[in-house]
Structure 1
Amino acid sequence: MKAGFAPLDCPTVLTLSQLLALVGVWIVGAYTPGPDMLLVIQRSLSSRWAGFASLAGVVTGVAIWLGASMLGLAAILQAREDLLHWLQLAGGGFLVFMGVTGLRSAWPVARETVAARRGLAAATSSSSGSVRGGTKTRTLRGDYVRGLATNLSNPKAVVFFGSLLAPFLYPGGERLSLAASLGIFALLVAIAVFAFASVTLAASHPKLNARIRTWLPVVDAVSAVLFIGIGTFIAAAALVELI
């Protein structure tokens, strides 16, 4: 073998098949239903700008967990499972709190909406007015914070990201260069943006939006119940492990 062409002199890079495998798994994960997707759909049905605001919060959370896993936080949490379970308990508790708060505000308006659709409301105009007043209560900043908090409420994401990325960050047992690692980070964040943006655009499409807008308080109430259920499941699973 000629000098200068030894394997150790070659840069550590991902093959095309490895990169496509990583992208494929990431896309499937991005579109998998969960609290993030539920929140983005719910807010997108309310308005496109609300959907994009919650999307921005969710993607910020994804970037934080992704960066943390690349910096080695996943290994720390795997070594300290008790810490991970405490974080899960806190995250599940937050989802329950968010669900209860949302249900308390959405339930009265949802009940009026159902009554109006059944012809039991006093007047359509008064009922539709209450729906508009009851649903337009969150600012875009609030939607962003809610999206960020919803994503950060799942600390297991950093462990998942760490397990997913490990074979790709260390191909052949050697760590990728900083530039390559940053490239992967940027690519995965961009894919997450695209995935949630496509859902936002679909859910906020004028035709779909017009059909479902009168039922928006019911959607909010159902979403709140789902958040309570998901949060309870996460918190209960963490509590079992801690006990």
Structure 2
Amino acid sequence: MSPAATLGTVLLAYLPAAVSPGPNFVLIAHTAATRTRRAAVAVALGVVVAGGLLAAVAVFGLGGVLARTPWLATALRVGCGGYLTWLGVRLWWRARAPEDLVEPPDGAATTPATGSPRPGRFFRRGVLSNLTNPKAAAFFGSVLTATLPPAEPTAVKAAAVALIVAASAAWHLSVALLFSAPGTQRWYARAKPVLNRVVGTILVVLGIALAVTP
């Protein structure tokens, strides 16, 4: 198979996994609707960077470390599931709180001029979301390695990672921009208590499923 055909196959395999709703979509959309466009873009960039890291790990064979150390894979899975569950419970608990109380600013995590959380805080949240995303782990650990054989040249592997990062950035940044539009934010403000509980429930279910499923 030619390099172009191989990269086309990788892209076709990745796009459905990227655009199907999951924890990343929920987190970006929720941040965009409740915070600022800058915060949503920071979350989206965190998701993109984590996805690039996962892709590189899978493509260059470093994922074998987890295969050789089952205890580490189990600890990572349980820890990630616990993180998602915590996010979901937090949304439920504060579903009716005014938005400026949902994430109270603190000296270490806010910008001095505005008192709003720094983008780095949201960027880290995006990174954690993708690293804890079971859908991402399944794709990069199985589908990607199947569509990009180990015998492919290093340049093709690097191009595949770059292609995945570009496609991920295009999609997740589009979600951030769409849901941070003023009209979307006004609609969310009216439906906030119900939507926060729906999103929280989704995150709790995903977290528990990740933690208890081998």
TM category, shorter: 0.7 to 0.9
Report the 3-state secondary structure (helix = DSSP H, G, I; strand = E; otherwise coil) of the residue aligned with 1:37: helix
Alignment of 1:1-243 (within 5 A): 13-16=2-5, 18-46=6-34, 47-104=36-93, 106-109=94-97, 131-135=98-102, 137=104, 139=117, 140-154=119-133, 157-158=136-137, 160-170=139-149, 174-176=151-153, 178-238=154-214
* Aligned mates of 2:85, 2:10 — CA distance in 1: 33
* Aligned mates of 2:128, 2:139 — CA distance in 1: 18
Structure 2's unaligned 5+ residue stretches are 106-116
* Aligned mates of 2:199, 2:167 — CA distance in 1: 25
Amino acid at match of 1:31: V
* Aligned mates of 2:99, 2:71 — CA distance in 1: 45
**Compared with structure 1, are the counterparts of its residues 56 and 67 closer, same or farther at alpha carbon in structure 2 (3 Å cutoff)?**
same
Retained in 2: the 8 A contact 1:40–1:54? yes
Show CA shifts across 1:123-152 (max 9, x none): xxxxxxxx3433464623222111111111
* Aligned mates of 1:135, 1:206 — CA distance in 2: 20
Q: Give the number of aligned pairs.
A: 201
Shift of 1:187: 0.9
Amino acid at match of 2:131: L
**Compared with structure 1, are the counterparts of its residues 162 and 33 closer, same or farther at alpha carbon in structure 2 (3 Å cutoff)?**
same
**Compared with structure 1, are the counterparts of its residues 14 and 167 closer, same or farther at alpha carbon in structure 2 (3 Å cutoff)?**
farther
The aligned counterpart of 2:114 is: none
Structure 1's unaligned 5+ residue stretches are 1-11, 110-130, 239-243
Report the 3-state secondary structure (helix = DSSP H, G, I; strand = E; otherwise coil) of the residue aligned with 1:198: helix
The aligned counterpart of 1:3 is: none
Shift of 1:43: 0.6
Per the normalisation by structure 2, the TM-score is 0.81
RMSD: 2.5
Amino acid at match of 1:175: E
Show CA shifts across 1:184-237 (max 9, x none): 111110100111112122212222222222333543333222211210111121
* Aligned mates of 2:120, 2:192 — CA distance in 1: 20
Which has the larger helix fraction?
1
Show CA shifts across 1:66-106 (max 9, x none): 111122133333454453233211111111122223333x2
* Aligned mates of 2:8, 2:148 — CA distance in 1: 14
Show CA shifts across 1:40-88 (max 9, x none): 1111112322211111111121112111112213333345445323321
The aligned counterpart of 1:9 is: none
* Aligned mates of 1:143, 1:216 — CA distance in 2: 20
